[in-house]
Chain A
Amino acid sequence: MSAADLSRIQGALAPWLTGSRLASDTRLDMETPAENLLAAVTAFRGLAWGYLSAITGLDGLGPAAGPSASEAAPGGAPAQGSASQHGTLGSIEVLYQFCQGPCLATLRVRVPRDRAEVPSISGAVPSAVLFERELSEMLGVHVTGLPGGKRQFLPDDWPPNVFPLRKDFLVESAAPVADSAPSVGSGEAPGTFIVPIGPQHPALKEPGHFEFAVDGEIITGASIRLGYVHRGIEKAAEDRSWVQGLYLVERICGICSHIHATAYALGVEALAGMTIPPRGQAIRTLLCELERIHSHLLWLGVAAHEAGFDTLFMFSWRDRETVMDLLEQLTGNRVNYAANLIGGVKYEIDAPAADAIRRGMDYLEGRARHYLKIVTTDESFLRRTRGVGTISREMSERFGTVGPTARASGVPTDLRAAAPYAAYGQFPVTPVVDQRCDQEARFVVRVRELSECFRVVREILDRLPPGDLSIPAPRKVAEGEAVSRVEAPRGELFYYLRSTGGVKPDRVKVRTPSLCNWAAVVNVVIGQKLADVPVILAGIDPCFSCNDRSLTLRRRGKTGAGGVETWSWEDLRTYGIRWYGGGRS
């Protein structure tokens, strides 16, 4: 499939490109000037190939002249390719990265820093909106025609024309600006009843802000505002060595910490041309699957809590303790396992540990069957989930949803199967797909994925390859670019790493799965009842922490302007619960 497809793309887009090359049979690199971008993207979409996985912005200012043309595939050797002029001093590059299975097609646009402007591609690719918003806020690339004018990632009082991800950014220049207009406000006509939720949520794990315009019970408009837990991790990674960065990205998220570290490690290892010993790779994969079990059980409890089913919440979190204890036994910590090294893993799995894991899997398998029964047969539960929040397959593909959210809409996307990384080649995974597209399907997909995880874990334990756990990593990593895409519990996690041959990365770009899923949520709630919103929002398994990691946050966002009501998340949740089980006005 790959090479032929990529050649086809190369040919079809040729009229608008200024250069293109097949870096490997899974990598296509194309350049286009900004004025041709929209036409190129539209033609690309016409080929019905792949989806937009990320938009990465790079600042060309740096010690070296920019990366060489070779892009490395994770787990494989760096590809051959002719050198070309990249990243001349003073220009900003924007990479539009489209993926299909293991293949990656990148459209590069180079723009001068003093006049950085690209057209918005959100007309052709609706899922691009949040990516372009991030690009414009962080790198100061003006995206013409970008719908919506609110800030998403930077705080409201961030000074204008200060772009954090540029290489010449100075922290001192980011002093808060007083009296800045809050970016909350969905721009609805006056007289519309706005129900804003957040950002202070006593009961919500992470702050975020949603605004719903409601007409009675039905939602007529929705908008989101992220950025409240922005910590500047991408920028921070540029100031840390490669090995230090490993622990930094691990802390992007608590529930998907290991997968972040894995993606980063895979990328660095690809750049450095390292081949990880199979045992290390297998243990890494085992921990990924254990983490997935942990994440799905956690989500089950949280989603049940959102729907008012507290007993299920308590029981699923009790069962989650089993896998957390296992992880603590294996790695020394329940969260942030720090199991990865650049070059492998730290921790061995010996026979007693393997037995403990097997016992845990046996216990959890029984529980997972029990939960599947509850989720598919409990009438009260089904009333909250069946037919609620339906994201059709077409809508899912249009908005670029990923992970279990997409799989519940019949889109068979699972990177562990489509583009196996780490040890998934030796321990294949069968994606769990459901065609029903509604909230119930999302529950079913995740619970059934648990069973798949148990199977893979047992298989890895049965056939754990002998050998070393890790190989030593170089201090300086060879020049180049690497993309590693992995399947986090929430969906496709995209890492782009660029090295200029030094001890620190030149660019670390993280595109988390939740960012892709927000667009779908904001669109699917329209027409739904307000009472269904908590469950729909919980259905995509949102991880705010994963989204907000590009900037040093000076000040948290403020609540909405006066005259606009604020519900806490708890309010919305109890609203939904009462709607279904109690009274309704």
Chain B
Amino acid sequence: MNVVLALVALLLFPGVLFLVTASLAYEYVDRKLVARFQNRVGPRWFQPLADFIKLLVKEEIVPDGVNRGLFNGLPLAALAGALTAGLYVPMAGLAPSWGFRGDLVATVYLLMMMTLCIGLAGANTQDRFSLVGAVRALTQLFSYEAPFLLALLGPAIAAGSWRIAEVNGWAREHPWMILTQPLGFIVALIGLMGKLELPPFDAPEAETEIVSGALTEYSGRGLAFFRLGRDIELLIGLTLISAFYLGGLGSPLQFLGKTLALLFVTAALQSLFARLRIDQTVGLWWRTGAVLALVQLLVLIALRMIGVSL
């Protein structure tokens, strides 16, 4: 791939420009849907963009006692991780710009970077609650990440590949895996919500626009980047899950339809429950979520062994 195409891919599509625009649009849709579920009007289409710009122009206050390099660099790292992950998924239904064997794991890891950065950012500031919030964020990371990865593994095993593009292609030709691996789908979707800290798993970020927890001390640019990173992750997460479980993404129309449908479900889950029925917190999620994913995998492997192709 020559340099020009690479630059286009990096900066325009599916690079920065497209990812940022699309993720802001998806944030709008999410907020609008949740509002409509709550019988409210919701924001106008440019609200997420306005929020982003507003945060950028605000004064950035660096608290005492933090490592300035980390403080300023972590939001960038989080954003970078999220953006980079976008290069490997079938964004807008077109083939991923780059790919290599095992890029599924790499992408999941890149998505994880966001939460790691939030955790580090919280630990960096001297505010004791940020520290506690950071610990919470990291703990939540450990609880949802493993089942999430396992749930994404299911389709990978079915497709026989660790490469997202190949799994996507396989999914397009076979029955939708939401039907053949329902448990995996549920775990993946809930795992995504946990990763994104959406209600009912709202961890350091509150439902209102007031941020607390690990991001308490952030303002201005840093906060803008963290929030943008989260929106991008939402987009990428939805893309991944629709690609894997909803029969692959072959065209922009399929992309729009499937990801928006998934977003609808996510928004509904956000408003329907205060919290999901998780009585024990991390322990139970490890038990239920991971077990479900494992069971799904075992079934899958067993079926493959007896020759049934799913």
Which A residues form the contact surface with B (CB < 8 A)? 202-203, 304, 307-312, 314-315, 318, 378-381, 383-384, 565-568, 570-571, 573-575, 577-585
Contacts and interface: CB of A to CB of B under 8 A. Distances in A.
A538 B82 CA distance: 39
Interface in B198-212: 199-208, 210, 212
B282 A571 contact: no
A565 B129 contact: yes
A579 B207 CA distance: 15
A585 B142 CA distance: 11
Contact of A574 (B40, B139, B202): B202
Contacts of A577: 202, 274-275
A578 B212 CA distance: 12
B168 interface: no
Contacts of B279: 383
Contacts of A583: 136-137, 139-140, 143, 203, 281-282
A307 B274 contact: yes
**Prevailing SS type, chain B contact patch:** loop
Given A308-B199, A308-B202, A585 B132 contact: yes
Interface in B99-139: 127-129, 132-133, 135-137, 139
14 contacts: A308-B199, A308-B202, A311-B271, A380-B275, A380-B277, A565-B127, A574-B212, A574-B213, A575-B132, A577-B274, A578-B204, A581-B201, A581-B202, A582-B275
A314 B200 contact: no
Contacts of A307: 274
Given A314-B39, A574-B213, A585 B135 contact: yes
Contacts of B281: 579-584
Given A314-B38, A565-B127, A581 B276 contact: yes
Contact of B275 (A202, A575, A580): A580
Contacts of B133: 571
Given A571-B216, A585-B139, A304 B274 contact: yes
Contacts of B140: 578, 582-583
Nearest to A585: B135
A202 B210 contact: yes
B276 A380 contact: yes
Contact of B129 (A203, A380, A571, A582): A571
Given A311-B274, A312-B274, A581-B275, 14 more contacts: A310-B199, A310-B207, A314-B40, A380-B277, A566-B129, A567-B212, A568-B212, A574-B212, A575-B132, A581-B200, A581-B278, A583-B139, A584-B136, A584-B282
Given A383-B279, A584-B282, A573 B132 contact: no
Contacts, number: 114
A381 B277 CA distance: 10
B275 A573 contact: no
Q: Which 8 A-B pairs have the closest CB atoms?
A: A581-B275, A583-B140, A309-B274, A565-B128, A314-B38, A583-B139, A584-B281, A571-B212
Contacts of B210: 202-203, 568, 570
B176 interface: no
B277 A379 contact: yes
Given A582-B136, A583-B282, A380 B206 contact: no
B265 interface: no
Contacts of B39: 314-315, 318
| Most A Cβ at <10 Å: residue of B39, B213, B274 | B274
Nearest to B201: A582
Interface string B206-229: 111010110010000000000000
B58 to A, nearest CB: 15
A380 B204 contact: no
| Most B Cβ at <10 Å: residue of A309, A379, A582 | A582
